[in-house]
Structure 1
Amino acid sequence: MKHDGTIRTNGKAIIETDNLPIKLWLEEDQMEEGALEQARNLANLPFAFKHIAIMPDTHQGYGMPIGAILATKGAIIPNAVGVDIGCGMCSLRTNLEHIETPKLKEIMGIIRKTVPVGFEHHKTRQDEAWMPERKGELPIVEQEYESALYQIGTLGGGNHFIEIQKGSDGYIWIMIHSGSRNIGFTVANHYEGVAKKMNQDAGEDVSQELAYIPETSEYFKLYWNEMNYCLEFALANRKLMMERARSAFTEILPEVEFADFINKPHNFAAEEKHFGEWVIVHRKGATRARKGEWGMIPGSQGTRSFLVKGKGEAQSFESCAHGAGRIMSRTKARKTLDLKEEVKALKDRGILHAIRHRKDLDEAPGSYKDIDEVMANQVDLVDVQIELQPLAVIKG
């Protein structure tokens, strides 16, 4: 839907009807009305800085759209980081140039046995050496720490995945997408509640799900400490799963070697300098893309993914998309997509996929945006280095 006050600069739509401009890396009519309304709510926050950046994979979230970047001064918004703090991706290159399907199936079978998915956790405590060091006051982390020892090295559900891919560089790659599991969820919900009560007590409207914690509050530092712990936990979680994937490869192909580990979170807040001022940059479903910085932009389990280098574009707060982005809700995908068609398309491409039942259709390729269109909309943000074709996928 078009709004009065929309202009175009350098091919990008800019909405100028609110307190701050909203800069879009997609056409305005490609945004859900709900996501656009959420972006406008961000633009009217009194502590928002400069402008709001909306990436081409955007869709509606809680409070803040997925695929958005918000910079603030003097406040942090738990819902602008999200409930899966530190969610992100990592990739690892093997020295394999080819892998036979029977061997690939064996490897995937081992990974399924060693990496719990969905709501499953490990049945035994994992080695505590994998856990990040606890620094500062961390009340919720301390509360959840013992449980987290059973969660580290687990995939979770939703759009999280372990994927084996063939790169345009000629090598086989492993990519993992996962987050901070229940420890991150609990931290996020706790401080969202704290922020909401704080704002309500001050007589402020919290109906937009954008409750904030001012930096003058004692809870600001507490949330900051716990958010950063969850960020480190999410990385450790991915590293342990990657270690299990490596072990699966070496068990079947003992001569395999690994190199070029890349990690990129896309749900976090960080203090950064932009436009000459220090601000708190919230990235929710958005990847940092400083000049020369490596990143990952996955498609769906039926389409290409990309390893990229950032261009350090100031207007996006040095950020880019984090994936293809949903084109329909999970409920709509399960109701409307054709199971046989989605399975046939994956089978025709020779992909060992994760769609077995109608309930899996929320992660079918048809529920996602066209990744090629997403990439075309952000040529000013990243340079593609390697294209990755899916070979086999494990989903939660």
Structure 2
Amino acid sequence: MAFQIIDGVRVWGEPDSSAVSQAVTCANHGNVVQALLMADHHKGYSQPIGGVVAYSGQISPSGVGYDIGCGNKAVRTNLMAADIMPQIGSMMDQIANQITFGVGRGNRNRVDHELFDDPDWNVYMQVAGKKGHDALKRLAREQLGTVGSGNHYVDLFTEPSTGRLWIGNHFGSRGFGHKTASGFLNLAAGRGFLDKAPGEHMDQAPTLFDLDQEHGELYYRAMKLAGRYAYAGRDYVIDEVLRLLGATADFAVHNHHNFAWKEQHDGQETIVVRKGATPSAPGQLGFIGGSMGDISVIVRGKDSLENKQSFYSTVHGAGRVMSRTQAAGKMNWKTRTRNGGAITREQMKQAIDDFGVELRGADTDESPFVYRKLQTVLDAHHETLDVLHVLKPIGVCMAGANEFDPYKD
């Protein structure tokens, strides 16, 4: 078996002590069936990124995290990448101009969607009252189809083996999901849903709800609504990029990696909370992104013992090896300047130029130097997944430098 067991936690890849410590804390709180760390794991808020915790009858809003439903979508287009390379600069300009990136930004093109008639919006009437419900729904309407900041992106890829052009994106439920997570964490602490939450520390124990209690049932419904919202946003952005390209799609892969699923494992009903981890049941497809200077892949879960032992979970990306502050320096939000970080913009530009990427936006905290190589973490899971398509980025678009990212992945 390719994983090791550390204090009861199943760990793939090279163990990161801070993430392992967080996973052990999670394993020792609540009705835990199993705690696991995927090979891209690193420290997160309460439950580590790349962390998977299976519960019996419980759900963890701190485990799902603030960016509920964060995930990836990729589509293969009918175009050849070579056909758009002469216009790659202008195409990336159009994506940067037409798709909204950045914290708190609304979509300049209001999107009507059947999601806003979903009966689960009634959850917010119960937990936040009419005023809170209306404000959250208004925010969700304004931000549907916007990408946000941090490590969220819209990419164009070539598949070297076929020359086909692919589109991929990565983001979640935006401010609506963040306020949903904050609200339920407030309720768990005895505060009002809309209260300003005090600063929580990264290593605190997980927040848990019993699913058969009111807050657990309401959170589960709200989480699923935020997940549908994230899907709708990623669908919209992919469709917009297809429109800009004048392309159609003939294959799609779409999945969350910050979410909780009701699943059967070893004949037991469980709630599997994955934070920065991709579901990989036998035959299930997933899109896993690397850094802006690395490959991304489409994978399929294997029907193997090790995949079963992983609770049908795998990596969601390459995994950070350097914090944002280490890479880019500490930000002075009054002057919008940073002190010196470990990575310079010149180093980042050289790296992506060498890899052949047309970049829009991003700061050095998203440079290739702050991530593992994706192949390294995929190798750690080779018994659990098959790589179907290898994608190489040719265009990367992210929020601009000096954007504050409060979402904790």
Q: Name the TM tier (shorter chain).
A: 0.7 to 0.9
Q: 1:91 aligns to what SS in structure 2?
A: strand
Displacement after TM superposition at 1:209 (Å): 4.0
| CA shift digits 1:113-139 (9 cap, x unpaired) | 221101253365623226354124321
- 1:336 matched to which residue of 2? 342
1:282 maps to 2:265? no
Judge which range, 146-155 or 132-141, deviates more: 132-141
User: Alpha-carbon deviation of 1:354?
Assistant: 3.6
Residue identity in the other structure for 2:347: E
- Residue among 5, 8, 11 paired with 1:24: 11
Contact 1:67 1:285 in 2 (8 A): yes
What amino acid is the match of 1:79? Answer: S
Answer yes or no: is 1:245 the counterpart of 2:237.
no
1:266 alignment partner, one of 247, 252, 257: 257
Are 1:293 and 2:284 an aligned pair? yes
Distance 1:246 1:80, change over 3 A: same
Q: Which has the higher contact order (CA 8 A, sep 6+)?
A: 2
Contact 2:107/2:144, CA 8 A, preserved across alignment: no
8 Å Cα contact 1:77/1:211 also seen in 2: yes
Structure 1 moving runs of 4+ over 6 Å: none
Paired with 2:109 and 2:352, the residues of 1 have a C-alpha distance of 37
Report Cα offsets for 1:166-192 as digits up to 9, x if no partner.
013331100000110000000000111
CA contact (8 A) 2:2 2:12 kept: no
Over 3 Å counting, the alpha-carbon distance change for 1:347 and 1:143 in structure 2 is same
| Alignment partners' CA distance in 1, 2:53 and 2:317 | 18
Equivalences for residues 1-396 of structure 1 within 5 A:
10-15=1-6, 17=7, 21-28=8-15, 31=16, 33-49=17-33, 51-97=34-80, 98-119=82-103, 121-122=105-106, 124=108, 126-129=110-113, 131=115, 133-136=117-120, 137-139=122-124, 142-167=134-159, 168-197=161-190, 208-250=204-246, 256-312=247-303, 313-334=307-328, 335-354=341-360, 360-396=363-399
Distance 2:96 2:115 in 1: 22
Residue matched to 2:196 = none
Take 1:258 and 1:265, find their aligned partners in 2: how far apart are those partners?
A: 20
- For the 8 Å contact 2:280–2:300, the answer to whether it is kept is yes
Q: Distance in 2 between matches of 1:307 and 1:128?
A: 30
Displacement after TM superposition at 1:72 (Å) = 0.5
Residue 142 to residue 261, structure 1, CA distance change in 2 (3 Å): farther
Distance in 2 of aligned mates of 1:131 and 1:125: 17
SS of the equivalent of 2:206 reads coil
Which segment drifts farther, 136-145 or 164-173? 136-145
Q: Which amino acid aligns with 1:210?
A: P
Q: Percent identity over the alignment?
A: 32
TM-score for the superposition, normalised by structure 2: 0.85
- Conserved 8 A contact 2:154-2:170: yes
Measured in 2, the distance between the counterparts of 1:125 and 1:171 equals: 29
Q: Does the Cα contact within 8 Å between 1:125 and 1:149 map onto a contact in 2?
A: no
Deviation at 1:54, TM superposition (A): 0.6
Q: Aligned letter for 2:10?
A: K
The code of the aligned residue for 1:104 comes to: I
Question: AA paired with 1:101?
Answer: M
Partner amino acid, structure 2, of 1:338: T
SS state at 1:138 partner: helix
Distance 1:131 1:361, change over 3 A: same
**Letter matched to residue 195 of structure 1:** A
For the residues of structure 2 that align with 1:110 and 1:27, how far apart are their CA atoms? Answer: 40
Contiguous gaps of at least 5 residues in structure 1: 1-9, 199-205, 251-255
Counterpart contact for 1:286–1:322, Cα < 8 Å: yes
How many residue pairs get aligned? The number is: 364
Greater CA deviation, 241-250 or 212-221?
212-221
Deviation at 1:150, TM superposition (A): 1.2
1:29-79 CA distance string (max 9 Å, x none): xx1x22111011012123101x21110000000100000110111221101
Counterpart CA distance in 2 for 1:154 and 1:73 is 35
Give the Cα–Cα distance (whole angstroms) in 2 for the partners of residues 131 and 104 of structure 1. 34
1:285 is displaced (CA, Å) by: 0.4
- The runs of 5 or more residues in structure 2 that have no matched partner are 192-200, 329-340, 400-409
Normalised by the length of structure 1, the TM-score is 0.88
Is the CA contact 1:307–1:385 (under 8 Å) kept in the aligned structure 2? yes
- Residues of 1 paired with 2:31 and 2:134: CA distance? 31
Alignment root-mean-square deviation, CA: 1.8
Bigger mean CA deviation after superposition, 331-340 or 102-111: 102-111
